[in-house]
Amino acid sequence: MSNSGRAQGMLPGLAIGVAFLAAGVGGFLVGSLTGSPEPASATEAVPAASASPTASSAPSSSAPLPTPSDDAYVAALDDSLQMGSETLAEGQSGRSDANLADGDVEILNWVETDDPVFFITIDDGLVDSPAVREVIERYQIPVTAFLTEYAVRDKTDYFEAVTAYGGSVQNHTMVHGALNDPATDVEWEICETQDRFEKQFGYRPWMMRPPYGAGPDDPEVLKYAEQCGINRIVLWNVVVTDDNEVEYWEPPIKAGDIVLLHWVDGLDKGLEMLLELGEAQGLTPAPLEDYI
């Protein structure tokens, strides 16, 4: 497809993506807090982060927390964060313009390629299921794991194993704070994760996925992403839900699509289904790392 043709075709999707970004300012979390008992108050429930370093640690921390990460901040986010809640719409659905940002940080929700490939990205890291690992190993699936540091502190071996087929561990923040929420400590969420994952996994992430897809082009997000070594902010345009239902902007799955899943029980079945859906279109999963 020509660039001009694609640009015209993208307009509806881009417009909706922008609408969601705009909605995020006023109450983004309302639409994303599936199952939350008090979605409307979620943003207010997060107090301002302390700017002063503290000796306290986050729950179940296996290492001291050196920067603003006092218990109140983490505990408050723990109450409001909803891992596993990203939806299709929040990924700037469809095939939005490939680069919405100025400067060196690119924001994308699909990859322009003629190769018969799609990309598997799996978020958060709450569940480290042996059945999922077995499926990934059996099919040697390239997985880009956008991990929340808070969720994976004791799971280094697991996430090294499941990203061993061309994939990688990438940044999904420290405690899953919405980066467009004024109460969120954006620098800490992005940069502390970079430092921690470099120690934990032996390399520094270069991709970041903002929780809930919130605030990808926020100037503060772009500033700290660039400052701390991120050059790709990766959204998505296909979702496999935690119930293993597929949400497309426009079915079927297509070359270059970025599929979002979460590390949950049942992911093994979701991955097998996804491979079959791809195969039906002549597509195989490829490492996102090789294309962006």
Instruction: Tell me whether residue 13 or residue 211 sits nearer to Zn ion (CB atom).
Output: 211
- The least distance separating Zn ion from the CB of residue 209, rounded to whole angstroms, comes to 7
**Residue 35: CB minimum distance to Zn ion, A:** 14
Taking the complex as a whole, how short is the minimal distance between the CB of residue 84 and Zn ion, in angstroms? 7
Q: Could you tell me the smallest distance in angstroms from the CB atom of residue 148 to Zn ion?
A: 6
Integer Cα distance of 241 and 84 in angstroms: 9
Instruction: Output 123 or 192, the one with its CB closest to Zn ion.
Output: 123
- CB nearer Zn ion, residue 142 or residue 211: 211
Query: Judged by CB, which is closer to Zn ion: 177, or 254?
Result: 177
Length of the chain equals 292
Nearest residue to Zn ion on Cβ basis: 123
Using CB under 5 A, list all residues that contact Zn ion. Answer: 123-124, 211
Q: Are 190 and 225 in contact (CB under 8 A)?
A: yes
> For strand 144-147 and strand 168-171, is the pairing parallel, antiparallel, or unpaired?
parallel
Question: In whole angstroms, what is the distance from residue 213 CA to residue 60 CA?
Answer: 26
d(C-alpha 216, C-alpha 180), whole Å:
8
> How many C-beta atoms surround the C-beta of residue 164 within 10 A?
14
Rank residues 123 and 181 by Cβ distance to Zn ion and give the closer one.
123
At closest approach, how far in Å is the CB of 210 from Zn ion? 9
For residue 204, the one-letter residue type is R
Q: In Å, what is the CA distance from 169 to each residue of 63, 142, 146, 219?
A: 19, 11, 6, 24
| CB of 177 closer than 8 Å to CB of 185 | yes
* Residue 235 Cβ vs Zn ion, minimum distance, rounded to whole Å: 12
CA 288 – CA 150 distance, rounded (Å) = 24
Rama region for 60: left / alpha / beta (φ>0; ψ in -120 to 50; rest): left
Q: Are 235 and 98 in contact (CB under 8 A)?
A: no
- Residue with Cβ nearer Zn ion (255 or 263): 263
Shortest gap between Cβ of 152 and Zn ion (angstroms)?
12
Judged by CB, which is closer to Zn ion: 124, or 185? 124
Lookup: tokens for 4: 């001009």
Burial of 71 (0-12, 13-18, 19+ CB in 10 A): middle
Q: CA 238 from chain center: how many Å?
A: 13
Cβ closer to Zn ion: 136 or 175? 175
CB of residue 289 to Zn ion, shortest distance in Å: 20
